[in-house]
Chains A and B, each alone.
Chain A
Amino acid sequence: MKRVYIYKSFGRFWHWAQAFLIIFLILTGFEIHGSYTFFGFENAVHYHTNAAYAYIILIIFTIFWHFATGEWVQYVPTLTNLKKQAEYYLFGIFRNAPHPTRKTLLSKLNPLQRLVYLGLKIILIPLMVFSGLLYLLYRFPQGDKINSIKICCLSTLGYIHTIGAFLLIAFLIAHLYLITTGHTIFSNLNAMITGYEEIDDDKDEDVTIIDKEKAHEN
């Protein structure tokens, strides 16, 4: 076992800021949806709007970070070990079988994570951002100009935004559970807080092809 610095500071900052913002957006969003009363409708709208702008700024920084540091490679989907990973969660985990994917600095994500996070990044979150922005700004700057949206699509935008919100909650539940499936129950959480994680360093076989190539380049 080796203690490895696996999550860099911006990565961690981004993760936790995003986590906070998404949970806050869900809380305020479902109040706007009419599911309950907590902050009060007016406050919920203002909090939701401001949190959304903060999140968009965070996204812009994060996109830049992903490309500047090459982190985007982490999200390139791969079929290698995809089946193994699924089988691990369905069967292996109960028998205490080893993780089929080894976590390294160069490959932090297992193939299932890659797929789900990529979906999150290029489908779900953009869907939420754009449906939300259109809803928010359909009449901006003020002056009653964009009539087509106003007439045809506000409900559609609302529905899309709601669907996305439910998917995010489902993701959040699954995510919160799956982080307990590391070495120990808290090792993944610890890693995301401190940046360091204990990683096996005895074998090399499970490193994915991309990582091998990447390792080779370096």
Chain B
Amino acid sequence: MKKTIGLILIFLLPLLVGYLMLVKEANAPSKLQQLKESRLQKEKPGADHSHFSQLQVKFKRPQDVTLACISCHNERHTEVMNTVHWRWLRDEYMEGKGIVSLGKRNILNNFCVSISGSEGSCSRCHIGYGYDSKDFDFTKEENIDCLACHDNSGKYEKEVEAAGYPKKDLDLAYISQHIGLPKKENCGSCHFEGGGGNNTKHGDLETALLTSDRDVDVHMAANGGNMECIDCHEAKNHVIKGRLYSSSSTDKNRLYCEDCHTKVPHKDNIINEHTAKVACQTCHIPTYAKVNKTKTFWDWSKATKLKNGEPYHIDDEDGNHTYLSEKGEFKWERNLEPEYVWFNGTATHHLIEDTIKEIPLVLNPLGGNYKDLKAKIYPTKIMRTIKPYDPVQKKLVSFKLWDKEKGNNSLWKDFNWGKAIDSGMKYLNLPWSGQYDFVETQSYWLTNHMVAPKEKTVKCNECHTRSNGRLENIKDLYLPGRDFNPAIDRLGIALIILTFFGVTTHSAIRIYYSNKNKGQN
């Protein structure tokens, strides 16, 4: 007996040692706690601008505010004028296309499609004044709108359809005296409202983030990190970190969760190993559009219908338009599970001069696959839009959306596709056949915000499951729990059945003979 106990002890001791070696100490100081504490130390505000005489004047034009800013912050404007926020254009390398100048200025997306010819309205989200046509002078520093980003008074607002100028009756002196680092409200005034309304475009960026709780977004929630956008999206020389691949193309200046949370943030090694192929967002953003709906489908072909000669709209129960004569038919959705794609930090873009080869046409194919060492699985919103193209040239078309007046061939005022496309293509000096039809397109909007509390992350079996898993469409990797070799499984089950059949038969014969023998005896 003593011997047995001794042996068991001898066996258990190395087990215990092994266990202690494999499992990290639970009491280790939490890195997350340290991170939270470091982030709670907010930067002190800078100089009190209300004391500056340069700002204690009655500004006639918003440009005068800019000039006042530059009079002290000299050369900052040169930084701003090199950013994408100002240029709406960026020279980037694209696989198969070389170096291309691409940005909001010339890209065709699948929301409002193009700014060309409609700059006067679209440039409400440009950090400048007076961008009302392709001839806007991007070298004139006085047209920089410093306040759009730096207003901390909460009173600054850009006018609708006014080429980026602010509302007329603003107290620009007061606003200019109350400036500081950009807050969520500043960034959000454009990035929450892109595509024509709150949460329309991204699905994970919306006004609810200003007031939401941790369940919606752990970082921005007032009862969570209460973080500002720029706490993560840090800026250097006015170039802000982080990229959106609806218009970016290269693996540069990206922002990673790992920047703060390190590469191996989990206690569980098996979870840490996932980070080789799975982006943090994939598990930590189980759903997006958690509060307000986002637009997921747009059918331009239904636009231009009129009732009694007048445009009309149909709304859903939340007040979102499901039909607009100006824009067509939409679908809005809430609490969406993202779709999942490989992504290595590169994207190509379908340019206006490119021929359509596949339908649905993917406007921003993302790079990466399982074999790509830089690629990981990312969550994304996929926007699906049916939009006009030239069926003869097999190319997308640009069209004039907006004009202040009727009769200038804008779709939104004159409701005539042919004239709107003709006007849009002439504006870009591009040929078109004169015929148009509609084509299904898709675009990827990687989901990076609305990070859930850790208790609400995606569970293992939401991917590691035989069917209907979240990663069902990612087929080029071996996923335990989902994947198996059908031949091996069939043979294996056959082997088990055969063995079972063998032993059953054998025992049956044994019983039969043993009874017979008994009978003989």
Interface centre among A40, A96, A170 (most CB of B within 10 A): A170
Name A161-176 residues within 8 Å CB distance of B. 162-163, 165-167, 169-170, 173-174
Chain A residues with CB under 8 Å of B8's CB are 13
User: What is the count of residue pairs linking A and B with beta-carbon distances less than 8 angstroms?
Assistant: 123
Also in contact, A58 and B11, with CB within 8 A (given A9-B4, A34-B482): yes
Does B136 have its Cβ within 8 Å of any Cβ on chain A?
no
Tell me whether B484 and A33 are in contact (CB under 8 A): yes
Interface centre among A61, A147, A150, A167 (most CB of B within 10 A): A150
Question: Beta-carbon contacts of A87-103 to B below 8 Å, as 1s and 0s?
Answer: 00100011110000000
Please, could you name 21 A-B residue pairs with CB atoms under 8 Å apart, sorted by A? Answer: A13-B7, A33-B484, A34-B465, A34-B484, A41-B459, A41-B465, A41-B481, A46-B270, A94-B513, A139-B276, A142-B269, A154-B477, A155-B485, A158-B484, A162-B485, A162-B488, A166-B496, A167-B495, A169-B492, A170-B495, A177-B506
| Nearest 10 pairs of A and B residues by beta carbon | A166-B492, A155-B478, A177-B503, A41-B461, A94-B513, A42-B460, A34-B481, A41-B460, A170-B499, A34-B466
Name B468-521 residues within 8 Å CB distance of A. 477-478, 480-485, 488-489, 491-493, 495-496, 498-500, 502-503, 506-507, 509-510, 512-514, 517
Chain A residues with CB under 8 Å of B264's CB are 142
Smallest beta-carbon distance B481→chain A, Å: 4
Residue of B15, B273, B373 touching A57 (CB-CB under 8 A): B15
Give the docked Cα–Cα distance between A42 and B270 (Å).
Answer: 10
Give the docked Cα–Cα distance between A40 and B4 (Å).
Answer: 35
Give the docked Cα–Cα distance between A180 and B481 (Å).
Answer: 36
Does A120 have its Cβ within 8 Å of any Cβ on chain B?
no
Chain B residues with CB under 8 Å of A54's CB are 15
Give the docked Cα–Cα distance between A165 and B10 (Å).
Answer: 29
Does A72 have its Cβ within 8 Å of any Cβ on chain B?
no
Q: Give the nearest-CB partner of B8 in chain A.
A: A13
Does A45 have its Cβ within 8 Å of any Cβ on chain B?
yes
Q: Give the nearest-CB partner of A164 in chain B.
A: B492
Residue of B7, B272, B496, B503 touching A9 (CB-CB under 8 A): B7
Smallest beta-carbon distance A73→chain B, Å: 21
Also in contact, A94 and B510, with CB within 8 A (given A9-B4, A57-B15, A151-B371): yes
Also in contact, A13 and B461, with CB within 8 A (given A33-B480, A95-B513, A159-B488): no
Does B98 have its Cβ within 8 Å of any Cβ on chain A?
no
Chain B residues with CB under 8 Å of A61's CB are 10-11, 14
Q: Give the nearest-CB partner of B500 in chain A.
A: A173
Does A140 have its Cβ within 8 Å of any Cβ on chain B?
yes
Does B261 have its Cβ within 8 Å of any Cβ on chain A?
no
Tell me whether B263 and A45 are in contact (CB under 8 A): no
Does A53 have its Cβ within 8 Å of any Cβ on chain B?
yes
Does A186 have its Cβ within 8 Å of any Cβ on chain B?
no
Smallest beta-carbon distance B149→chain A, Å: 37
Q: Give the nearest-CB partner of B270 in chain A.
A: A45
Interface residues contributed by chain B, number (CB under 8 Å): 57
Chain B residues with CB under 8 Å of A158's CB are 478, 480, 483-484
Tell me whether A57 and B507 are in contact (CB under 8 A): no
Q: A162-B489, A177-B506 are in contact. List 8 more A-B contacts (CB 8 A).
A: A32-B480, A34-B484, A42-B460, A57-B14, A96-B517, A142-B264, A142-B272, A174-B503
Q: Give the nearest-CB partner of B503 in chain A.
A: A177
Q: Give the nearest-CB partner of B485 in chain A.
A: A159
Give the docked Cα–Cα distance between A42 and B502 (Å).
Answer: 36
Q: Give the nearest-CB partner of B462 in chain A.
A: A41
Give the docked Cα–Cα distance between A151 and B369 (Å).
Answer: 11
Question: Beta-carbon contacts of A29-50 to B below 8 Å, as 1s and 0s?
Answer: 0001110010011100110011
Smallest beta-carbon distance A187→chain B, Å: 15
Name A123-174 residues within 8 Å CB distance of B. 139-140, 142, 144, 147, 150-151, 154-155, 158-159, 162-163, 165-167, 169-170, 173-174
Give the docked Cα–Cα distance between A147 and B264 (Å).
Answer: 18
Tell me whether B513 and A174 are in contact (CB under 8 A): no
Interface centre among B11, B14, B498 (most CB of A within 10 A): B11
Give the docked Cα–Cα distance between A58 and B12 (Å).
Answer: 10
Tell me whether A142 and B496 are in contact (CB under 8 A): no
Also in contact, A34 and B464, with CB within 8 A (given A42-B459, A144-B276): yes
Question: Beta-carbon contacts of B1-39 to A below 8 Å, as 1s and 0s?
Answer: 001100110110011001100100000000000000000
Does A20 have its Cβ within 8 Å of any Cβ on chain B?
no
Also in contact, A177 and B507, with CB within 8 A (given A34-B465, A45-B460): yes
Q: Give the nearest-CB partner of B13 in chain A.
A: A57
Chain A residues with CB under 8 Å of B506's CB are 89, 177
Residue of B18, B273, B503, B509 touching A53 (CB-CB under 8 A): B18
Q: Give the nearest-CB partner of B517 in chain A.
A: A96
Also in contact, A142 and B263, with CB within 8 A (given A13-B11, A53-B18, A61-B11): yes
Residue of A37, A45, A94, A180 touching B509 (CB-CB under 8 A): A94
Smallest beta-carbon distance A152→chain B, Å: 9
Chain A residues with CB under 8 Å of B491's CB are 166
Give the docked Cα–Cα distance between A32 and B466 (Å).
Answer: 10
Also in contact, A155 and B483, with CB within 8 A (given A34-B466, A41-B461): yes
